[in-house]
Structure 1
Amino acid sequence: MYSRYGSDDPVPHRMNLIRRAAKSARYMALPALGAATAAIVSSMSRVAGPLVIREGVDKGIIPQNTSVITNVALIFGGILVAQYVSTRITLYMVAWLGEKFMMDLRNQVYSHVLRMDMAFFGRTKTGVLVSRLTADIESLQVFATEGVISVVGSTLMVTGVSIALFVIDPFLATIVMLLMPILVAISVHFGRRSGQAYRQVRSQVGRVLGALQENISGVREVQANAQELRQEERFGAIDQTYYQKGMAAAKTVVTYFPQVDMLRVIGLVLVLFIGGNRVLDGEMSLGSMIAFLLYLNWFFEPIVQLANIYNLLQGALAALYKLYGLMDEEPAIQEALETTPLAPEVDGRIRFHRLTFGYSPDEPIITDLDLSIPSGQRVAVVGATGSGKSTLVRLIARFYDPQAGKISLDGIDLRRVSFADLRRTVALVPQEGFLFEDSLRFNLSFGRGDMTDDEVWEACRAMGIAEWVESLPEGLDTPMRERGNRLSSGERQLVALARALAVDPAIVILDEATSNLDPGTESQIEDALESLLAGRTSIVVAHRLRTARRADRVLVMEGGRVVEDGTYDDLAGRGGHFAELINTWESS
């Protein structure tokens, strides 16, 4: 389903998209009715203006009747007031409806994305997701706040003006309507060409955003390898394509509007020539002629607006198609309809039952694995790159589900454990600690939003970072920059460890969480980890010799299988895979 994102193909099932959007916005029906009523009043007030002017010219100015002129001026003033008030109400109500719908939709999409599984994020580019929540939402927002007003107002104006033209002079109105087939043909052709052109522009937006996100995230690698020029050329090629598609879309616009203006001029010339002669022949009053010319100018204007808004509508429908497609994609990891609660005091026993898993079902990474980890045991998982170490611990955190077999926690199938129970029980610290752009307090208490400052400080003391936090200018209120860039990698990891352990989990997973620490920082946390991991089941993906030495048990993985299992000393003395790893570590 998600593969359709970024497609240049026309949007299918337009009416279904519109009905779905309308259904999701049913709660705004009453404000929408109020906005529609105000729009009708605004349009009808404007349409009434030339008719009042006609009366003023024919019955006031020509016969020099000052009382009629006074009355017409008062009526026209009242119409202007009604138009002003109703237009303001319309603009405000439509803006409120559009912004409210966008806010709700943005929150729905964001909430849905947060609940998607890790496989989804593995196959979906960050730039595409950013494009969904920015460019696509913006396309909808422009249509909802500007397009809807124009559609409603223009439709009402065309209808009202058409009726007024026939009321004033059916003969002249019929002549004007002869231009309609040409105008409609030009507008339909414009709509088709511009729709295709702007679909391609919107498709390229996601690629531009993706390239920007990738290069900004990887700017250190770019500069470290002196590849600025190369990346500039790569981005320039993507941006050039964006420019070309934008210019192709612009060409359709610069072709259409002069043609419409030409038709409008032709209409005005015809009305001036034919209508002028009818006035001279006494078949039409001067006031009617003036009113007709005013209406004729207004007649073309809303039609041009409707044609222009067709692009906004196409963009909005394309955005809806992509956003609803995203929201329709169900996460592969879902909570069971009937869950089995864990005991308040979790033992932390983990069992793999003949488990097989691969990120692609045809390429298993772990095959037919049977493994038991008793409560409170500290297990180090070692092996070469690609042996399945990180995959093993991600399965325990249920970031993925196996294709065959199962994992049980305290004898309960992990798939039957509620997400709330699982997250309070299992804490995973990855290799690179991620910090949010918020206060240090927010980051430390992220795993438990209800933590008090005393509990936060307790976690800091347990991790041995209390003095460091106190030394910061603003203490717990110290703001963290994006990704915690104002801290060293070691400090970021200490905060991530404190955050995980503040949850007081029964199971702690360290996915190479100490591999990025400098010797001084690593030494600082080893004693803290020793006491904090005591009594907890812990699985440590180890890349360092002493990390494995501190474990109760060492699992050596190769090709997705546990090829050696035992204590550090036992495996070191066998002369097998683990002994080879020790030699590699010592030599490096």
Structure 2
Amino acid sequence: MLAVYLRPEGRRLAALAVFLLAGTAVQLASPQIIRTFIDTAATGGADAPLERLWMLAGLFIAVTILAQLLQIGSTYFSEQLGWSATNRMRQDLATHALHLDMAFHTAKSPGELIERVDGDVAALAAFFSQFILQIIGGALLLAGILIVLYLQDWRIGVLLTGFAVVAGLVLHAIRRIAGGRWERLREAWSAFSGFLEERLAGLDDVRANGGGPHVMRRMGEVNAELLDANVAAARRGHWIFLTASALFSIGFGMALALGVWLFQRGEASIGTVFMFMQYAGMMSLPIMLIGQQLQQFQAASASLNRIRDLRAIQAELTDGPGVGWEGRRTDAPAVGFEALTFAYRADTPVIRGLDLQVPAGEVMGLLGRTGSGKTTLTRLLFRLYDPQGGAVTLDGVDIRGARLAELRGRIGLVTQEVQLFDASIRDNATLFDPAIPDARITEVLEDLGLGDWLSRQSSGLATVLRAGGGLSAGEAQLLAFARVFLKDPGLVVLDEASSRLDPATDQLIERALDRLLGADGTGRRRTAIIIAHKLSTVQRADRIAILDQGRLMETGRRAELEADPESAYARLLRTGLEEVMA
């Protein structure tokens, strides 16, 4: 998977390779300079040529400075490479998650998805930015040291090669043992993020109902699980560091023993023995770094597995072949629900064999108690879910044959709770459509009674709104109407707000609704489905449909049902619509 994101980074990879190779060569040269310095001083004694010694000392300082500069360059390109690649991965993962079915998003909390899209990718970025630098760079240095040692004396080469192989096998074995602990830790973090997000989102309900002690008790349990997972992962991870340290001591001792033996036999100078020690120390450094990175690799592997799991999930709802609706976005279609059956869970049907027709250009008032299936019908109309039986049609065409973009482009939606984004008023009104001109946005906002509100904003349409705040409930509702007018679809779904608004704002919303439905004589007729809570809204409907536990209880023209004292609709009017529909 990572190779896909590294492919566009060819230039940075090439630059990093140059810096790593040059840095390795410079590091390998340092012990050679020191060996020459020591042997020159030892053999010459008091008569050692000072000019040559000063030259070697200066060369060593220059090589050391060059090594640091090359290390800085390697670090720069490594960080650039790691974060550029993983940023593209984060973007692709977020796009993939946004295209998954509603069933997936219902099952996963926003906190869990944030942890996967951001937390797991950030863990990969932190690891990957060091992977090339420390593991690949360390491997190059290790190979270079062994080559130099073989050229110097095959016995020291064989000894330290065996040491490197054993060290690598031991570290690999520990990594495999500890891997599952890091997987568990990432899952624990995901659960903690999901818990925190859900409780903060429901803070008002928790406070109002005295649920604070329960939430804190549950948070203690989640924290305890996170602590256990963290301690278990850290305990296993420390074994890698301790093992690397022990191996470092063993390797250093082996090099010292062999060097002393060769010196005593007259087969190595004191400078050569010191060089062996230097290379043994340099060899242990990449082993320790590789050990540390293997510890991080456990966490990165767990993150990568979770990312792969998310990428493996595919949307069941896919684009249809298309039905030729291009250019018909503003046409008012006839809507049909034909023998419709649907269940979120297999054992609990929500819609049961429902047949309902909404003629083109007419308004259908949808009534029913909470849980009767009203909102589910609108979700099926937008094709957020597919029914298990029957079909939803527009102008007699099954919507499953349409492309999702052309289907949803024909439908406007006004919900009870209006979602605001951390974005400008322009982007919130157009839902990020740059094709809509500012003049049109301003015109619509003024027509809806938001002109004074807009004039009070410091930067006009460029003023940034904050999610969850900054607008009253009435202003948010009017902004939702503005979105529909700017989109200008032929079919509108309105889930009427049940909350009470001040009379002035309520009057503005009533006027906006008249314009939307073409009841004020200035606009065209749209097909509309209204989930109504107020009598004034129901009276705008041409037809009424009453649902009860997913079944169609009654439907007909509103005036005819209202005139029939035996109809369920007439009984609702006598009882009090707002009370019964609550």
- Tell me if TM exceeds 0.5: yes
Residue type matched to 1:332 in 2?
A: E
Deviation at 1:193, TM superposition (A): 3.2
More displaced stretch, 486-495 vs 131-140: 486-495
Alignment of 1:151-162 (within 5 A): 151-162=135-146
The equivalent residue for 1:29 is: 10
Query: How far is 1:176 from its partner?
Result: 4.8
Question: Does the CA-based 8 Å contact 1:490-1:517 persist in structure 2?
Answer: no
Q: 1:130: which partner in 2?
A: 114
Partner SS, residue 540 of structure 1:
strand
Amino acid at match of 1:284: A
Whether 2:384 is the aligned partner of 1:399: answer yes
2:569 pairs with 1:578: yes
Query: Which residue number in structure 2 is paired with residue 390 of structure 1?
Result: 375
Letter in structure 1 aligned against 2:477? Q
1:514 paired to 2:506: no
| Identical-residue share of aligned pairs (%) | 28
Matched residue, 1:203: 187
1:249 pairs with 2:233: yes
Instruction: Map Cα deviations across residues 146-197 of structure 1 (whole Å, 9 max, x no partner).
Output: 1221111111122122233334444445455565566345423431333222
1:71 Cα deviation after fit: 4.2
| Contact 1:378/1:539 (<8 A) preserved | yes
Following TM superposition, by how much is the alpha carbon of 1:480 offset from its aligned partner in structure 2, in angstroms? Answer: 1.6
Pick aligned residue for 2:420 from 435, 439, 454: 435
> Where does 1:39-78 land on structure 2 (aligned, <5 Å)?
39-60=20-41, 62-63=43-44, 64-77=48-61
**Residues 134-145 of structure 1: pairs in structure 2 closer than 5 A:** 134-145=118-129
TM-aligned CA distance change 1:84 to 1:301, over 3 Å = closer
Can you list the C-alpha shifts for 1:184-222, whole angstroms capped at 9, x where unaligned? Answer: 454234313332222211111101111111112111122
d(CA) in 1 for partners of 2:86 and 2:165? 37
Question: How many Å separate the matches in 1 of 2:485 and 2:500?
Answer: 18
Match of 1:9 in 2: none
Q: 1:86 aligns with which of 62, 67, 70?
A: 70
What letter matches 1:315 in structure 2? Answer: A
Shift in Å at residue 516 of structure 1? 2.7
1:537 matched residue in structure 2: 527
Deviation readout 1:297-333 (Å, 9 max, x if unpaired) = 1222211221221232233233222223322322222
Q: CA deviation at 1:350?
A: 1.4
- On the 8 A contact 2:421/2:465 being kept in 1, the answer is yes
Match of 1:117? 101
How far off its partner does 1:277 sit? Answer: 5.2
**CA pair 301-382 structure 1, distance change in 2 beyond 3 A:** same
Say which is worse superposed, 167-176 or 114-123, in terms of deviation.
167-176
Deviations 1:469-490 (A, max 9, x none): 334455434432222x122222
Structure 1 residues 96 and 231: alpha-carbon distance in aligned structure 2, compared to 1, 3 A threshold: same
Identify if the C-alpha distance between structure 1 residues 491 and 62 changes in structure 2 by more than 3 Å, giving closer, same or farther: farther
Unpaired runs of 5+ residues, structure 1, are 1-19
Q: What is the distance in 1 between the residues matched to 2:107 and 2:238? A: 40
How far off is 1:396 after superposition?
1.6
Is 1:294 matched with 2:278?
yes
Q: State the AA in 2 paired with 1:309.
A: Q
What's 1:470 paired with?
455
Confirm or deny that 1:410 pairs with 2:395: yes
Q: Distance in 1 between matches of 2:323 and 2:306?
A: 33
Q: Which residue of 2 aligns with 1:15?
A: none
What corresponds to 1:324 in structure 2?
A: 308
Q: TM-score, normalised by structure 1?
A: 0.89
Per-residue CA deviations over 1:423-454 (Å, capped at 9, x if unaligned) read: 33201122200000122232112264322222
Q: Secondary structure at the match of 2:370?
A: coil
Q: Note if contact 1:342-1:417 (Cα within 8 Å) is conserved in structure 2.
A: no
Q: Are the aligned partners of 1:447 and 1:499 in contact in 2 as well (CA < 8 Å)?
A: no
Mapped partners of 1:27, 1:259: distance in 2: 38
Deviations 1:7-47 (A, max 9, x none): xxxxxxxxxxxxx3214432323432332232122112112
> Which residue of 2 is the match for residue 17 of structure 1?
none
Corresponding residue SS for 2:361: coil
- Please, which moves more after superposition, 302-311 or 259-268? 259-268
Deviations 1:532-559 (A, max 9, x none): 2111111101122222122111111112
Name stretches of at least 5 consecutive residues in structure 2 with no aligned partner. Answer: 519-524
Note closer, same or farther for the CA distance 1:172–1:528 as it changes in structure 2 (3 Å cut).
closer
Report the 3-state secondary structure (helix = DSSP H, G, I; strand = E; otherwise coil) of the residue aligned with 2:387. Answer: coil
**What is the distance in 2 between the residues matched to 1:23 and 1:436?**
32
Distance 2:578 2:414 in 1: 26
Describe the shift of the 1:193–1:356 C-alpha distance in structure 2 as closer, same or farther (beyond 3 A): same
Q: Tell me the distance in 1 between the aligned counterparts of 2:485 and 2:275.
A: 78
Match of 1:461 among 446, 468, 490: 446
TM alignment of 1:347-386, pairs within 5 A:
347-386=332-371
Q: Can you list the C-alpha shifts for 1:69-124, whole angstroms capped at 9, x where unaligned?
A: 24434543553354344333322222222111111111111122222222221122
Closer, same or farther: CA 561–282 of 1 in aligned 2, 3 Å: same
TM-score normalized with structure 2 length? 0.90
1:402 Cα deviation after fit: 2.1
Root-mean-square deviation (CA, aligned residues, Å) is 2.5
Judge which range, 540-549 or 313-322, deviates more. Answer: 313-322
Label 1:273 to 1:432 Cα distance change in 2 as closer, same or farther (>3 A).
Answer: same
**Further displaced range: 519-528 or 163-172:** 163-172
SS in 2 for 1:358: strand
| Residues 168, 292 of structure 1: 8 Å contact kept | no
Residue 370 of structure 1 and its aligned partner are, at CA, apart by 2.6
Partner of residue 505, structure 1: 489
Counterpart pick for 1:567 among 557, 562, 565: 557
C-alpha separation in 1, matches of 2:250 and 2:149: 17
Match 1:346 to one of 311, 331, 342? 331
CA gap of 1:268–1:328, structure 2 versus 1, over 3 A, is closer
Task: Tell me the secondary structure at the aligned position of residue 25 of structure 1.
Answer: helix
